[in-house]
């Protein structure tokens, strides 16, 4: 299987190693894109129903009609499970992570129209280090655009390694106002990831990134899937989130 047209030549791998991220064109087929959007809509309806039963407009990090974080549904959703443990993501993992990997996390993130939600500069590894204090080895984030991404609708921005700001996992300080962990407070605006629906940004979890507010009149939807080169386990021996074997010696685990 070939994803896109030219993404897996050595220049892209070298770019990923040098800068900490890469852009992959046309990763999702039209059928996959439609399926993920449909499953997201269904899960948002479920969350709204849960809010109705509780008589609230807030459930965890989700706020009715404003923002939704829909996480860890693949264990009960065969459509999501087939995607995150399927051929497309296996090829991405082999290319950027290696021949042995474990599935760690998946979640939809939705910013609804004209909602001023931002996410501060951080490394995904900075968050995991709160759970696993001795965590050091980067894992892989696959950020999938379910809508065309722009600065206006709150796409992510990244700080490439070549900026000289990368030095392993940086110290993260909690922002009391937003509850975000902040790993960088300088004035570099970063590079916005401006990609159409169906494309993917892959980045090392030591890459600093952030997202801005959605100021448009339409929702901005993304799907995030993460994999690791080793099981990510807490000090008590339990999985930090998931530690599902995915590839062994480059072959998918059934």
Query: Do 250 and 99 meet the contact criterion of CB atoms below 8 Å apart?
Result: yes
Could you give the CA distance from residue 180 to residue 241 in angstroms, rounded to a whole number?
Answer: 19
Confidence (pLDDT) at 4: 38
The mean pLDDT value for 61-66 works out to 72
Residue 156 lies in a domain: yes
Q: What is the pTM of this model?
A: 0.91
Residue 141 lies in a domain: yes
Query: Do 108 and 40 meet the contact criterion of CB atoms below 8 Å apart?
Result: yes
Residue 89 lies in a domain: yes
The mean pLDDT value for 105-131 works out to 86
What are 187-212's pLDDT values in tens digits? Answer: 899 999 999 999 999 999 999 999 98
Residue 222 lies in a domain: yes
Residue 145 lies in a domain: yes
Residue 5 lies in a domain: no
Nearby residues of 53 by Cβ (< 8 Å), 6 or more positions away: none
For the chain, percent of residues with pLDDT exceeding 70: 93
Could you give the CA distance from residue 197 to residue 30 in angstroms, rounded to a whole number?
Answer: 10
How long, in residues, is the chain?
Answer: 254
Confidence (pLDDT) at 2: 35
Residue 150 lies in a domain: yes
Residue 246 lies in a domain: yes
Could you give the CA distance from residue 253 to residue 246 in angstroms, rounded to a whole number?
Answer: 5
b vs e for 183-207, b when ≥16 Cβ sit within 10 Å of the residue's Cβ?
Answer: bbeeeeebeebebebbbbbbbbbbb
CATH number of the domain to which 95 belongs: 2.60.120.620
Hey, what long-range contacts does 248-254 have (CB within 8 A, 24 or more apart)? 248/99, 248/100, 249/99, 249/100, 250/94, 250/99, 252/85, 252/87, 252/90
What are 6-51's pLDDT values in tens digits? Answer: 445 568 889 999 999 999 999 999 999 999 999 999 998 888 888 8
**How many structural domains are present in the chain?**
1
Q: Which of 43-47, 117-121, 181-185, 228-232 has the highest mean pLDDT?
A: 228-232
Domain that holds residue 164: 10-52+60-252
Rounded mean pLDDT of the chain? Answer: 89
Given a cut of 50, whether residue 3 has pLDDT beyond it is: no
Range from 15-24, 112-121, 131-140 carrying the lowest mean pLDDT: 112-121
Element (H, E) at 90: helix 87-96
């Amino acid at each position: 299987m070939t994803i896109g047209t030219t993404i897996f030549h050595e220049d892209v791998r070298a770019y990923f190693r040098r800068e900490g991220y890469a852009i992959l064109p046309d990763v999702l087929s039209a059928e996959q894109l439609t399926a993920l959007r449909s499953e997201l809509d269904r899960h948002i309806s479920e969350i709204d129903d849960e809010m109705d039963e509780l008589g609230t407009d807030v459930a965890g990090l989700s706020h009715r009609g404003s923002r939704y974080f829909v996480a860890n549904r693949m264990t009960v959703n065969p459509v999501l499970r087939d995607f995150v443990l399927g051929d497309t993501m296996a090829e991405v993992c082999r290319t950027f992570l290696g021949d042995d990997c474990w599935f760690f996390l998946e979640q939809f993130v939705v910013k609804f129209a004209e909602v001023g939600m931002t996410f501060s500069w951080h490394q995904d590894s900075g968050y995991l280090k709160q759970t696993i204090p001795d965590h050091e080895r980067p894992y892989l984030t696959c950020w999938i655009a379910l809508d065309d991404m722009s600065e206006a609708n709150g796409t992510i921005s990244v700080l490439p390694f070549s900026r000289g700001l990368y030095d392993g996992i940086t110290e993260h300080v909690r922002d009391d106002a937003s509850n975000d962990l902040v790993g960088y407070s300088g004035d570099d605006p970063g590079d916005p990831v401006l990609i159409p629906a169906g494309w993917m940004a892959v980045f090392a979890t030591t890459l600093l990134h952030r997202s801005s507010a959605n100021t448009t009149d339409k929702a901005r939807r993304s799907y995030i899937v993460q994999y690791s080169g080793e099981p990510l386990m807490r000090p008590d021996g339990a999985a930090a989130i998931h530690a599902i074997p995915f590839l062994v010696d480059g072959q998918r685990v059934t």
